Chains A and B, each alone.
Chain A
Amino acid sequence: MIKNTALHLLTGKLITTSLLPGSLFMVSGVLIWSIWQKQKHLQNDTAELRSEVKKIKEQMDKLDASIETNQKQKAPDSSLLQEDHSIKESDEKKMGLFEYLINDNVKLRQQAYGNSD
């Protein structure tokens, strides 16, 4: 039993003393590699995210611009308003003239024929 235990200890010690530095080196290598990988990933993700943000920003700018022009088109500018107003005014004048002309011509028929047809 003692012999067994001693053998166990000896083997353990042997293993630890001979293998520990190598395995330690390996583990830390793996660790460094994985950290490095993760960081690389992270960097990639950040770059990707940045480009996505940039794209979204560009789209937002475009959207803003189109809303602005849309509003500009929809909102009548003052010169158009003025033109519209003067068309209306000239139409009103015309209707007034027509009314006068027709009344004048109706009157003419009444004078000419002495009745109201």
Chain B
Amino acid sequence: MATSKIFHIGIDLGTSQSSIVTSTGSRVSTKTCVGYPKDVISQKRLNKEHLLGEEALKNRLALDLVWPLAEGVICSDKKSKEATQLVLQDLITSTLPKLGDTDKVYAAIGVPALASVQDKKTIIDITKDFIDKIIIVSEPFAVAYGIDRFDECLIVDIGAGTTDLCRMYGSIPTEDDQRTLTEAGNFLDNEIMNAIWEKFPDVQLTPQIIQWIKEKYGYVSDNSDPAIVTLTKEGKPDSYDITGILHESCLKLSNAISKAVQSLVSDFDPDFQEILRNNIIVAGGGSRLMGIDKAIEKSLDNYGGGKAICVQDVEFCGANGCLKMCQEMPESYWDKI
């Protein structure tokens, strides 16, 4: 008789990017999107019912793209549920190819802080055929767990759909300890797009171009190299200096985040405000924005100063926290679910 093994996995199910880390040491990160062929011709050409992640993005002209977590929650339509299921299933099969019929998968899944009971129920429902036991945790909590910080600290998780802030102080964070802002990656993309169009009407922009510009040149530090990009207008390429525009747009994001940080610090127990101010941990794809840590620190100057650090291993730090949680959770706790 084949012996059954238990595999632990941690998944960060994000609005734009999802990652998995397994107890076998595999890790994969992919865009949280699924593309369905637009018509019979594209279906024939691609020879697949659907494409996932980066492959879907590459072939987007021939596909209807579904971003199932576009607003930070799982969209309620059938297609979105199916897309979420496909993304999760693909993450597991690509990292655990040798999973046997009798083997068991125990998973912790980190979801955006805004996810509702209904969203979480959806995740339990759509994974019941390929995950044996599952716990769902909020993403900032998974980040904190991954870096062993459940003592006094403030997690700022800058994602695509939302920025989630969470105060940790050794116990379970309550509603009051959390803030969710819509000022996040997608918000910044919009700001940059509008600002460019305002100054250079008619240049041709797509979400991909904007995202590329933001990720390559975006900054909130006091100075940076000039951001001169090649854009097309009526099909003709030209160079455009967007240094100033980019800075102003990025500041809108960092200012909103700084305000939320100030608010979470100032209504915390006064005895612990200083320690909170000095332990700000910035995570999520947005933590790569040049100078974001320094900008948050600067915004706390009037509050007595602060210290912010950006996490290492941005892509996997939420998934790592989930896996760690899975592995450290005693069996007796798993038995309860």
A/B pair count, beta carbons within 8 Å: 48
Q: Are B328 and A111 in contact (CB under 8 A)?
A: no
A102 to B329: give the CA distance in the assembly, Å: 10
Kindly list chain B residues whose C-beta atoms are within 8 Å of the C-beta of A101.
135, 137, 325, 329
- Closest A residue by C-beta to B120: A108
Kindly list chain B residues whose C-beta atoms are within 8 Å of the C-beta of A98.
325, 328-330, 333
Q: Are B330 and A105 in contact (CB under 8 A)?
A: no
A90 to B118: give the CA distance in the assembly, Å: 32
Q: Are A105 and B172 in contact (CB under 8 A)?
A: no
Taking the closest CB of chain B, its distance from the CB of A71, in whole angstroms, is: 34
Q: Are A112 and B124 in contact (CB under 8 A)?
A: yes
Interface mask (A79-115 → B, CB under 8 Å = 1, otherwise 0): 0000000000010011111111110011011011100
Also in contact, A106 and B336, with CB within 8 A (given A93-B150, A94-B328, A101-B135): yes
Kindly list chain A residues whose C-beta atoms are within 8 Å of the C-beta of B118.
112
Kindly list chain A residues whose C-beta atoms are within 8 Å of the C-beta of B333.
98-99, 102
A93 to B325: give the CA distance in the assembly, Å: 13
Q: Are B121 and A108 in contact (CB under 8 A)?
A: yes
Classify the interface of chain B: helix, strand, loop or mixed: mixed
A98 to B118: give the CA distance in the assembly, Å: 22
Taking the closest CB of chain A, its distance from the CB of B279, in whole angstroms, is: 16
Taking the closest CB of chain A, its distance from the CB of B141, in whole angstroms, is: 9
Interface residues of B in 294-329 (CB under 8 A from A): 325, 328-329
Taking the closest CB of chain B, its distance from the CB of A89, in whole angstroms, is: 9
Kindly list chain B residues whose C-beta atoms are within 8 Å of the C-beta of A112.
117-118, 120-121, 124
B interface, size bucket: 20 to 34
A interface, size bucket: 10 to 19
Interface residues of B in 170-218 (CB under 8 A from A): 170-172
Q: Are A105 and B136 in contact (CB under 8 A)?
A: yes
Interface residues of B in 118-152 (CB under 8 A from A): 118, 120-121, 124, 135-137, 145, 148, 150
Q: Are B150 and A97 in contact (CB under 8 A)?
A: yes
Q: Is B337 an interface residue (CB 8 A)?
A: yes
Kindly list chain B residues whose C-beta atoms are within 8 Å of the C-beta of A94.
150, 328
Interface residues of A in 31-54 (CB under 8 A from B): none
Kindly list chain A residues whose C-beta atoms are within 8 Å of the C-beta of B137.
101
Kindly list chain A residues whose C-beta atoms are within 8 Å of the C-beta of B121.
108, 111-113
Q: Are A102 and B328 in contact (CB under 8 A)?
A: no
A98 to B135: give the CA distance in the assembly, Å: 10
Also in contact, A96 and B171, with CB within 8 A (given A102-B333, A108-B117, A108-B120): yes
Contact among A93, A95, A99, A106 for B170, CB-based, below 8 A? A93
Nearest first, the 9 A-B pairs at minimum CB distance are A112-B121, A100-B172, A102-B333, A105-B135, A102-B336, A98-B333, A111-B117, A98-B329, A108-B120
Question: With contacts A98-B330, A98-B333, A112-B120 known, what are 11 further pairs, Cβ within 8 A?
Answer: A97-B150, A98-B325, A98-B329, A99-B333, A101-B325, A105-B135, A108-B121, A108-B124, A109-B124, A111-B117, A112-B117
Contacts from B to A (Cβ < 8 Å): 117-118, 120-121, 124, 135-137, 145, 148, 150, 170-172, 325, 328-330, 333, 336-337
Contacts from A to B (Cβ < 8 Å): 90, 93-102, 105-106, 108-109, 111-113
21 A-B pairs in the complex with CB atoms less than 8 angstroms apart: A93-B171, A94-B328, A97-B145, A98-B325, A98-B328, A98-B330, A98-B333, A100-B172, A101-B325, A105-B136, A105-B337, A106-B336, A108-B117, A108-B120, A108-B121, A108-B136, A111-B121, A112-B117, A112-B118, A112-B120, A112-B124
